[in-house]
Amino acid sequence: MKIISYNVNGIRAAMKKGFIDWLILEQPDIICVQEIKALQEQIDIEALEKIGYKYNYWYSAQKKGYSGVGIISKQKPNGVFYGTGIPEMDFEGRNLRIDFDQFSLMSLYLPSGTNLDRLEFKLSYMDKFYDYVSSLKKTNPNLIIAGDFNICHKAIDIHDPIRNKNISGFLPVERNWLGKFIELGFLDSFRIFDKSPHKYSWWTYRANARANNKGWRIDYIMLSKSLKNKMKNASILSEVFHSDHCPILIEMQ
């Protein structure tokens, strides 16, 4: 099984840039998307169904053209769960989960801390999400959380750790939270297979950052330790260009 996570920075914009053609070539079984920036009725569902993705689910923000997540699947899940049930988390459409017999898969879009108000919201969201997942793991022990965490975990995950040490996404409080989150019993799937530097999943549009590989690794597929033996591969698809992010991938038995 091939699972991809991708912050598309607007699903409609990505489709205009060849997203469907890329899906035909890549053939993931499931793709989790973030920052869809659309309501379900604005998305070309027919184009996805035509290429085999009959089961697709969307959880949009209340604010139009903002945030939102989706899951696109070839296989029908046992259940679909929209949000967390916590209103102050769910109004921006950041959590969507589907359950199968052997695992549960969540598409996640953690907030960014672009200013003081948003940083406070992000930190509050992180605390609530930690408690939510801690509880969820009791009923769904084989859990995969795929998405944009908006946090670089370690210095190896960012192109300039010194200059960015006071920037949201690499603040000590955020990095410590991600470490604590992993200690709940998760594995950073990419680092199981690749411990090399200069591997990123997001680049600012400014200053030719992507061409110069001045990026951040803020997208993760975290999986419960119970699934480690099922892992075959994990990679970052840095040559895919529909967004300021690139897709990330895991392959499982």
Q: Where are the domains of the chain?
A: 2-252
**pLDDT at position 54, please?**
98
**pLDDT at position 191, please?**
98
Instruction: Tell whether the torsion through CA atoms of 16, 18, 106 and 202 is positive or negative.
Output: negative
Say whether 160 is catalytic: no
**pLDDT at position 42, please?**
98
Residue 188 CB burial class (10 angstroms; 0-12, 13-18, ≥19)? middle
Q: Which fold has domain 2-252?
A: Deoxyribonuclease I; Chain A (3.60.10)
- Average pLDDT over the chain reads 98
**pLDDT at position 57, please?**
98
Token pair of 219 as six digits: 């997208």
The helix (H) or strand (E) run that includes residue 180 is helix 172-182
Residue type present at position 41: E
Query: Helices 116-139 and 172-182: crossing angle, nearest 10°?
Result: 10
**pLDDT at position 168, please?**
97
Neighbours of 29 (CB within 10 A): 16
**pLDDT at position 136, please?**
98
Neighbours of 172 (CB within 10 A): 9
Return the exposure string of 51-63: e unless at least 16 CB atoms fall within 10 Å of the residue's CB, then b: eebebbbbbbbee
φ/ψ (deg, to 5) at 192: -65, -35
Catalytic one of 29, 117, 148, 160: 148
**pLDDT at position 158, please?**
98
Integer Cα distance of 8 and 19 in angstroms:
9
Q: Which residues of the chain have pLDDT under 70?
A: none
φ/ψ (deg, to 5) at 42: -90, -5
Taking the complete model, does pTM exceed 0.95, yes or no?
yes
Residue 198 CB burial class (10 angstroms; 0-12, 13-18, ≥19)? exposed
